[in-house]
Every structure is written in structure tokens, then in C-alpha cells.
Amino acid sequence: MQPVRVRFAPSPTGPFHIGGARSALFNWLFARRYGGVFILRIEDTDLERSSRESEENILAALRWLGLDWDEGVEVGGPNGPYRQTERLELYQRYAEQLLSQKDAYRCYCTEEELAAEREALLAEGALSGYSGRCRNLSPEDCARLEAEGRKPAIRFRVPDNQGTIVVRDLVRGEVSFDCSDIGDFIILKSDGIPTYNFAVVVDDHCMSVSHVIRAEEHLPNTPRQILLYNALGWETPQFAHVSLILGKDRSKMSKRHGATAIEQYQEKGYLPEAMVNFLALLGWSAGGEEEIFSLEELTRQFSLERVSKSPAVFDLDKLNWLNGHYIRQSPIEYITDLSIPFLEKAGYLKTPLTPERYEWLKEVIALVRKYLVCLDDLKDHVGIYFNEEVEVLEEEAREALTAPHVPALFEALARLVLDCPALSAEAAKGLLKAAGKEAGVKGKQIFIPVRAALTGSIEGPDLDRIMAILGKERVARRLAAALDRGL
Ligand code: GLU
């Protein structure tokens, strides 16, 4: 196999979508799997819609996902620059080559003329390719038109009788395109900006790209690109077009099916590990039942042979399940660190944290993480650990506090807690038992009212761990407050 060189070539024209991230991941995995090079090229030729902000979002999202690039914007490399607007001379040079070979010609038609022509062709029921009006202009014609102040675009001359072009696609097999209706297409606009099909061919060739792995929506562009490779005398790379992503209702994935931008998932507290795992399964499978894959594992197993031809279905429940899995299984320090910004945003924490506070926070996160789908959910689960007071709103909890044995139980427990040297979870366990003994009750009769007083609910994580996290004073205060309210 030739050295693997792949590229991810986003257009920085808006939010970075799931589909783009999946293309990036598949390219990255392919490069890593085969010891190749992963290139990041920015296709910013749509001057109106491209922005540096969008480019920076893409770069940040790739870094967040853990996808580093070997050549490209910011890191540089031997085939730079890696932003298309910085490569205009190169496109000019190859457009000139095509002109001199007569595989391209200058076209002086204005937007208005082209629009009128399209309309006329449509009215005749013809397909709306370019009519070829400027195909055979003489140098004198050109000079005359230029004297009128017209600036030419450069059009590719599609070979006559082109017939069928077969794309040999590593995912989709052989796909034939009837090229008889491909009209001559613009490769360089009158302002010197290349069109997508031309820029992509020049860049993929000049960057020695071996495999073009991209979304299926670009498959119909591929025959035009192949025509350009042929005219320039260049070898085509191998193509692999990855299927569309559909929503669960089988229509094209859109905002209706959930957030489409990677950033939105990051903001909600999805973990990059879950996102990578989820993206990988959008079109690829290992073949077995296994669904949990780290980036390392994916790197070992990824292959284009196992990328499916059928559309991938975006299943938010699966992403949620994966995210819950990584929240529960990752090292507690990692989840704690990721949680801090979410707790700050919710107003629970101020950084920097003292080492003691950090240790305390770890206990909180360890206790609640099993309830989380994403880290943004933390705010709904941690109030009782951060707030001074707890409000008992749940009906069943209020009722539990009215049992006749509650005053004796709470008084005993508050006293024992305040007297104990250090309220660990282990110690709390013993104190709950001892307080129950004093009040003549056990089991649920102890746990339910104490839990209700400390958390406002009759369900939740381990009571002894909650007590250790709250600390002696808050436990005693909440028991007393519950009694006060009850009296
Ligand atoms: N700039 C194109 C896009 O964002 C990439 C096309 C390609 O990979 O060839 O869709």
C-alpha cells in the first residue's frame, strides 16, 4: 500500500457538525491505523460565509475530541499553506496549465447572462448545463470582451463524448456516472477564487493525498474531480464516501433530531470519549456485539472495509448511554476536573479550590455520578451538598418526618454526630445504628426520616456517605431544622 496520507478539509462556514466530526475521526483513525499522515486543510473559498471564528471552533473541537493533525493550519508542514485562500497562486498556475492545454477556456459571460441562459434552457426542457457560448472564442473576441471591461472566469472544457465515469469507491464499490450532461464548469472565478472541485483536486494532488474519505454528499462531485485529474495528468487518489447520517425517523439528520453541532454537546457535558465512541459507530462497526471503544481501541480496529454503505442512524439514547458509561467508569479525578466548570456555572463553586475542598468535591462527584447523563445534569443533583439548608418539599419525605419516633431519633443522632471526632461514612453508619437503638427503632425507620431531613427526599445515594460529605454541623443543623418544622 502506498503511504497513507489523508486529509480533513472543512469549510469554516458555521457550526461544526456531527457529520464533519465523523469525517475527521474516520480520516484520523485511518491515518493512525496505517501509520499515515493526517492533514487538516481549511477550505475557506466561500469568502462570504467563511470566518476565522468558525475555523477556530473546528480546531478547538478536534482538539477536544483528541484528534491531532500532523500537517495543517497552526502546525504547518511541507505542503503549506493549509488555508485555501492562501494558495491562490497555485490554483492560478494550474488553471493556466489547463488553458494552455486547451482543457479550459476563458468565459466572459456575466451572472445575468448565465441566469438568462439557464432560464431559456429550462424553458426548453433541457438540462441546465453551460451552453458553451465562450468555448471557441478567438483571441480577438477575448480582447474585445475584455475591452468592454469584462473579467473572465476560467471554465473547464469537459471532453466531448465523455460518456460514463466510474468511481471506484472503497465503501460503495463501483459507482457509474453518466457524464453526458456535465456542462463545462468554472474552475476559477473572475476574482481569482477557485471553485470547490478545482481547489480540492489541486490540493489533494499537491498534498499527495492517498485516500479521500469524506461524506457521501460529495460523491456526485467526484466525476468532475476525476475529469480534472485526468486533464492535469495526475493520478487519482482512492475515494471512500461515508454514508449520510439520518435521524431516527430516517429523514436527514437535522436540528429536529437533537443538537447537530459538536460544541453543543461539549457545552452540555458530554465527554469527548463518549462522543468519539458514538461518532465511530455512525457508520463503522467492529463486527461483534461490543460497543464501547476508546480512541486507542478504535485505532487498532478501524478499517474502511467495516464502514457501512447504508445510512447511519443518529440515536441520541445511545449517545446518552455511552456518556453515562464514561461518566461512571472514568477515573474520579478526571470526572471531578471536568465537573468543576459546570458547578461554577451553576453558582455552586468558586475556583481555585483548596486541596481539602477538592477532596470533598471528589466525594460528592463519586456519590452522584451514577445519576448523570451529562455533566450539565450535576446542577440537579448536588444542591443538597452545597446549600446550607434543605427544603423538604417531597410529600413522602414530609410524611416520614411526622413519625412519632422521629424526635427521639434525631436528638440522639444529632448529639452522637456532634460528639464524634470525625464523621466518616464508616462512623456515620455506626452512629445511625446507635441512634436507632436509643430511639428503639431500626432499618427503614431510621434511614427514611434521616434521609428526608438531610436531603429532602426519601431516595438517593448512600446515607452514610451523604452524612460524611455534609459534615457534623450541617447534619446536626438539618436534623434540628426538621424537628423545628415538625413541632
Ligand atoms: N470542504 C468540503 C466540506 O466541508 C470538504 C470536501 C472534501 O472533503 O472533499 O464539505
Q: What is the DSSP secondary-structure string of 122-190?
A: HHTT-------TTTT--HHHHHHHHHTT---EEEE-PPTT--EEEEEETTTEEEEEE-TT---EEEE-T
Residues 210-237, mean pLDDT to the nearest whole number: 97
Q: Which of 5, 43, 203 to mutate to test the pocket of ligand 1 (most atoms within 8 A of CB)?
A: 43
Four-point Cα dihedral 460, 461, 465, 469, nearest 10: -60
Lowest pLDDT segment from 103-112, 184-193, 250-259, 265-274: 250-259
Euclidean distance between CA atoms 481 and 487, whole angstroms: 10
Give the model's pLDDT for residue 219: 97
255: annotated active-site residue = yes
Class of domain 88-242: alpha beta
As a whole-number percent, the residues of the chain with pLDDT over 90 amount to 89
Give the model's pLDDT for residue 252: 87
Q: Beta strand 245-246 with 312-313: parallel, antiparallel or unpaired?
A: parallel
Q: Which of 200, 210, 239 to mutate to test the pocket of ligand 1 (most atoms within 8 A of CB)?
A: 200
* Length reported for the chain: 487
Euclidean distance between CA atoms 464 and 472, whole angstroms: 12
- In CATH, the number for domain 388-484 is 1.10.10.350
Cα of 417 from ligand 1 centre, angstroms: 64
**Residue 486 pLDDT more than 70?**
no
As a whole-number percent, the residues of the chain with pLDDT over 70 amount to 99
Euclidean distance between CA atoms 38 and 54, whole angstroms: 20
CB atoms within 10 A of CB 158: 21
For residue 19, give every residue at least 6 positions away whose Cβ sits within 8 Å of its Cβ, in sequence order, or none.
215, 245, 253
State the cell numbers at 98. Answer: 489547463
Cα of 57 from ligand 1 centre, angstroms: 16
In degrees, to the nearest 5, what angle opens at C-alpha 128 toward C-alphas 122 and 134?
A: 115
**Residue 44 pLDDT more than 70?**
yes
Task: Fill in the DSSP letter of residue 288.
Answer: S
pTM: 0.94
Q: Across the chain, what does the average pLDDT equal?
A: 95
**CB-defined site of ligand 1, < 6 Å:** 9-11, 43, 200, 214, 218
Euclidean distance between CA atoms 404 and 354, whole angstroms: 43
- List the chain domain ranges: 88-242, 388-484
Euclidean distance between CA atoms 21 and 100, whole angstroms: 40
**Residue 409 pLDDT more than 70?**
yes
Cα of 86 from ligand 1 centre, angstroms: 17
Instruction: From the candidates 102, 151, 252, 255, give the one annotated as an active-site residue.
Output: 255
> Are 432 and 463 in contact, with CB atoms under 8 Å apart?
yes
In degrees, to the nearest 5, what angle opens at C-alpha 82 toward C-alphas 97 and 85?
A: 65
Tens of pLDDT, residue by residue over 361-391, are 999 999 999 999 999 999 999 999 999 989 8
The dihedral sign for the CA sequence 218, 38, 201, 309 = negative
Which residue in the block uniquely carries the three cell numbers 455512525?
282
Give the model's pLDDT for residue 487: 47
Among residues 87, 83, 25, the alpha carbon closest in space to that of 55 is found at: 83
Tens of pLDDT, residue by residue over 320-366, are 999 999 999 999 999 999 999 999 999 999 999 999 999 999 999 99
> Are 332 and 362 in contact, with CB atoms under 8 Å apart?
yes
Give the model's pLDDT for residue 127: 66
Give the model's pLDDT for residue 128: 65
Q: 3-class SS at 75?
A: coil
Tell me the one-letter amino acid at 474. R
Tens of pLDDT, residue by residue over 46-71, are 999 999 999 999 999 999 999 999 99
Euclidean distance between CA atoms 479 and 411, whole angstroms: 8
For residue 160, give every residue at least 6 positions away whose Cβ sits within 8 Å of its Cβ, in sequence order, or none.
none
Tens of pLDDT, residue by residue over 112-139, are 999 888 888 888 877 667 888 999 999 9
Cα of 63 from ligand 1 centre, angstroms: 19
> Are 82 and 39 in contact, with CB atoms under 8 Å apart?
yes
Ligand 1, residue 20: give the atom nearest the CA: 4
CB atoms within 10 A of CB 1: 8
Residues 388-397, mean pLDDT to the nearest whole number: 91
Between 160 and 126, name the one with better pLDDT: 160
Q: 3-class SS at 449?
A: helix
> Are 348 and 374 in contact, with CB atoms under 8 Å apart?
no
**Residue 1 pLDDT more than 80?**
no
Cα of 170 from ligand 1 centre, angstroms: 18
Q: Which of 214, 221, 222, 226 to mutate to test the pocket of ligand 1 (most atoms within 8 A of CB)?
A: 214
For residue 337, give every residue at least 6 positions away whose Cβ sits within 8 Å of its Cβ, in sequence order, or none.
none
Residue 106, CA distances (Å) to 139, 209, 226 in order: 10, 29, 21
> Are 60 and 22 in contact, with CB atoms under 8 Å apart?
no
**Residue 452 pLDDT more than 90?**
yes
Give the model's pLDDT for residue 41: 98
**Residue 258 pLDDT more than 90?**
no
Residue 346, CA distances (Å) to 79, 349, 351, 359, 375 in order: 46, 8, 13, 20, 11
**Residue 91 pLDDT more than 50?**
yes
Ligand 1, residue 10: give the atom nearest the CA: 4
* Minimum CA distance residue for ligand 1 atom 6: 9
**Residue 34 pLDDT more than 50?**
yes
The dihedral sign for the CA sequence 434, 439, 442, 444 = negative
